[in-house]
Structure 1
Amino acid sequence: MDGLTRRRLLQAGGTGALLAALAAAEGSAYTPPSRDGRAARSVVVLGGGIAGLTSAYELGKAGHRCTVLEARSKPGGRVLTIRDGDTETDLDGHTQRASFGYGTYFNAGAARIAPWMVTLDYCRELGVPVEVFVNSNADAFIHTSTGGPPVRFRTARADLYGYVSQLLTRVTRAGALDAELAGGGRDELLAFLRDFGRLTDDGEYQGGPDRGFATYPGADGGVPLDGPASLSEVLRGGAGAYLGFDLGFDQAMPMFQPVGGMDRIPMALARAIGPDRIRLGAEVTSVLNRPDGVEVRYRQDGRDRPSRPTTAWPRCRRT
């Protein structure tokens, strides 16, 4: 890149001071770029993923002239939705074509939005309708690499909670936790474990309706599943590794998704930026320092194309 360093590139874009202040401003509210009375700049955004599109959108609102260079045939980056007829080629050169039914799609990248994410603010601002995404399905099957049979989430959870509660009840009654409970709470712990693990009055786990039903309840009480399996069999099944997924801060319900696919967000950003401002199939080949700015060279439609001297805004990527 002809001796161009990251620092010099950022300084050319006037962002050096911004980056220096990021640590101090980490906990402050986001303030979008605004007009400062100076002449608008021409900005090239390298990459049309969510970070690049959002940068171009916000800079455009502040009056700057932005051009987005995206190497792929569609904007969005890793926010990728596959629909019937779409063709994708992976990095190993394997090409696949989707054959889905009408209205069916697959979010191959980002798939859900937590309620605290600023993404929902952009959905509201851009008019992208959202709906609830069910991030935890008790009736879904868990398939593991151990080779065991698939087990429903609710069954695996009931068995593991039950057996763990049973073991803790035994060691508590045997006095193994007396030091930890010297200040009191033994009876409260046992009561919690009995309820949490659905234990009998004797502190044993014997299964129950929380595991699911072979015949679902209707006019009668239904037929519960047989079991449970032994503790060793439950542990060998390996399903326990998946039970805490929806406890994560960024995975806890309620979760949301755009109606019709995650790519509705980059599509809305692209419309707001303006199709004439986004160049698809444009692979950046070099970034050059010039006395009056930065020149970005890229290849599009088999031809090398230089941009006029401008400010280059580097692509941001979340890792």
Structure 2
Amino acid sequence: MTDFPSPDFLAPPTRRQLLTMIGKVGGTAALYQAMTVLGHAAESQFNGPPKLSGARPGASVLVLGSGLAGMLAAYELTKAGYKVQILEFQGRTGGRNYSVRGGDTIAELGSTQTVGFAPGNYLNPGPWRIPYHHRTVLHYCKELGVELEHFAQLNHNAFVHHKDAYGGKPQRYRDLYVDYKGHVAELLAKSLNAGALDTAVTADDKAKLLEAMKDWGVLDKSMAYTKGVKVGEQRGWDRPPGGGVNGAPIPGDVGSLSDTLSTKVWQQIGFYTEHVMQTTMFQPKGGMDHIGKAFAAKVGSLVRLNTHVTKIAQDDKGVTASWTDTKTGATGETRADWLVCTIPATVLGQLDIQVSDKKKAAIRALPYGNSVKIGLEMKRRFWETDYAIYGGHSFTDQDISLISYPTGNWFGDGPAVILGAYPFGIGAYKLAGMTPEKRIAAALDQGSVFHPAEYKAEFRSGATVAWSRMPWILGCCATWTEESREAHYQDLVSMEGRIVLAGEHCSYYGCWQEGALLSSLDAISRLHQRASAA
């Protein structure tokens, strides 16, 4: 959505356009375009675990990578009777399903951090929430005994900050949301009453729309959006309701149309109406890595850690992966009948792999977007005690993009971790170009716009991950476009000989764990079908 209407805005909209304009009042949040890759808005295609059975005696599968896609492949294939081994570059399993805690080390290109968080505190540098419709993730959490809790997504009491709005002073999302719909409702009601839309709306629909605008926008008898008790019931009060002599609430002033539009609050409204960002979300209690740990409890004995794959070859009888042990320098080869490769495309494109030129081109044509997360451990939960904010996000047009308040242990004492930055795009690259120490300092400077008295004074320790600087992936997640999908997607996901690829980059649910798991189930189902027919 642009800041100023185009000339087309002056033409009366059709009925469909009018209802679409009302239904999608905010548009799409530009802040999260990097996450909303093509196809993300559909319900998950998960219909239950794969029905794999009858593996040929002694049939073997080699899995490259022990992220969720790789471990799920190993989990289901071993249940089907295959002999499975996993080769993993890192010294741990889980991939981007990752949490860092006190004492952990974060090794980026050019820097190493030791996390100083207090016991029980953590940062999820990768995935951190699970939408209600990500049925694959939820199924395996239940099957593997991962305890989930509610993730607080939408919080009307959090803030929206725009440097050019309200003198740079953050505003409560609740106030801006109510003001925005109030002003939009008033404008539409005036247009309807002036007859400007008579050619597009029937008389019956006009009456219904006027009634709807009055209720939806909290308009007064003259169809104006203005200060009053009904608005206060949605927007809040200068003096809240009380008891006794002075119990009557006093409503606050409403923001002007110009001030409201200057905040671009439609971006946040659109963000919360995105299918994948709607408000029923979950998180594993105690850290996202509990999902990876649950898979590792089932297949961890199959994993060879610290193993750098250097070459992938195949013939009509099997596959061979050549590797180097990153700890000892020893080299070796692992042979199997079939191979599931979950190595990210950013790294796989640098390897010698025996597949067609079309598949190589598909691998190398897929760029990964960047993101940075910064965890700021604070001495106390001042956002709760001083601001009455329990979970949710405050948005800003600064490089950090947002801060997110922790879900869980509400009303607790002692230190807690705020997500102090989560940008994509230019903001992420600017922060990634800094040392970890300077990133944390920038997050404290920029986050102080929301909590000026507390942010730096209550800071205890910090940790940060810039995904473009993580040597085992060199990016956050795959960023398909419609054009690149049309040119390369089917070549990427096709099974060639005895090799099939899996991971979030091999799905229409990019940048989500759901995509990684769905692609893995699809890959092993096709592999099993091919192996059974061989």
TM-score bucket (shorter structure): 0.7 to 0.9
Q: Distance in 1 between matches of 2:320 and 2:57?
A: 19
Q: Distance in 2 between matches of 1:195 and 1:309?
A: 66
1:217 to 205, 222, 241: 241
Which aligned pairs between 1:178-193 and structure 2 lie closer than 5 A?
A: 178-182=198-202, 184-193=204-213
Q: Distance in 2 between matches of 1:104 and 1:223?
A: 41
Which aligned pairs between 1:91-240 and structure 2 lie closer than 5 A?
A: 92-116=109-133, 117-144=135-162, 146=164, 148-182=168-202, 184-207=204-227, 208-209=231-232, 210-219=234-243, 220-225=247-252, 227-240=253-266
Which aligned pairs between 1:1-319 and structure 2 lie closer than 5 A?
A: 29-30=47-48, 32-36=50-54, 38-90=56-108, 92-116=109-133, 117-144=135-162, 146=164, 148-182=168-202, 184-207=204-227, 208-209=231-232, 210-219=234-243, 220-225=247-252, 227-273=253-299, 275-290=300-315, 292-300=317-325, 301=327, 302-315=329-342, 316-318=502-504, 319=510
Aligned partner of residue 250 in structure 1, secondary structure: helix
Q: 1:161 to 1:96 in 2, by over 3 A?
A: farther
Q: Which moved more, 1:92-101 or 1:182-191?
A: 92-101
More helix by share: 2
Q: Distance in 1 between matches of 2:163 and 2:157?
A: 20
Q: Distance in 2 between matches of 1:305 and 1:144?
A: 55
Q: 1:215 to 1:40 in 2, by over 3 A?
A: farther
2:62–2:335 Cα contact (<8 Å) kept: no
1:138–1:154 Cα contact (<8 Å) kept: yes
1:33–1:59 Cα contact (<8 Å) kept: no
Aligned residues: 291
Q: 1:79 to 1:28 in 2, by over 3 A?
A: closer
Aligned partner of residue 186 in structure 1, secondary structure: helix
**Counterpart residue type for residue 137 of structure 2:** T
1:115–1:255 Cα contact (<8 Å) kept: yes
**Counterpart residue type for residue 503 of structure 2:** R
Note the C-alpha offset of 1:96.
3.3
**Counterpart residue type for residue 331 of structure 2:** D
2:320–2:333 Cα contact (<8 Å) kept: yes
Q: Distance in 2 between matches of 1:185 and 1:72?
A: 62
1:156–1:240 Cα contact (<8 Å) kept: no
Which structure is richer in relative contact order (CA contacts within 8 A, separation 6 or more)?
Answer: 1
Q: 1:261 to 1:192 in 2, by over 3 A?
A: same
1:54–1:269 Cα contact (<8 Å) kept: yes
Q: State TM-score, norm by structure 2.
A: 0.51
Note the C-alpha offset of 1:31.
5.1
Q: 1:191 to 1:262 in 2, by over 3 A?
A: same
**Counterpart residue type for residue 137 of structure 1:** N
Q: State TM-score, norm by structure 1.
A: 0.83
Q: Distance in 2 between matches of 1:279 and 1:145?
A: 50
Q: For structure 2, which runs of at least 5 residues remain unmatched after alignment?
A: 1-43, 343-501, 505-509, 511-534
Note the C-alpha offset of 1:135.
1.2
1:33–1:58 Cα contact (<8 Å) kept: no
Aligned partner of residue 243 in structure 1, secondary structure: helix
Q: Distance in 1 between matches of 2:92 and 2:239?
A: 48
Aligned partner of residue 131 in structure 2, secondary structure: coil
Aligned partner of residue 167 in structure 1, secondary structure: helix
1:153–1:243 Cα contact (<8 Å) kept: no
Q: Which has the larger radius of gyration?
A: 1
2:55–2:82 Cα contact (<8 Å) kept: no
C-alpha deviations, 1:72-131, integer Å up to 9, x for none?
Answer: 2322222222222322233x5343333323322222211222223221111111011111
C-alpha deviations, 1:278-319, integer Å up to 9, x for none?
Answer: 122222111122564111112221332321344211212213
Aligned partner of residue 111 in structure 1, secondary structure: coil
C-alpha deviations, 1:165-205, integer Å up to 9, x for none?
Answer: 11111111111111122252112111111111111111111
Note the C-alpha offset of 1:154.
0.8
Counterpart of 1:3? none
Q: 1:87 to 1:28 in 2, by over 3 A?
A: closer
Note the C-alpha offset of 1:28.
8.4
**Counterpart residue type for residue 257 of structure 2:** L
Q: Distance in 2 between matches of 1:218 and 1:79?
A: 47
1:72–1:280 Cα contact (<8 Å) kept: yes
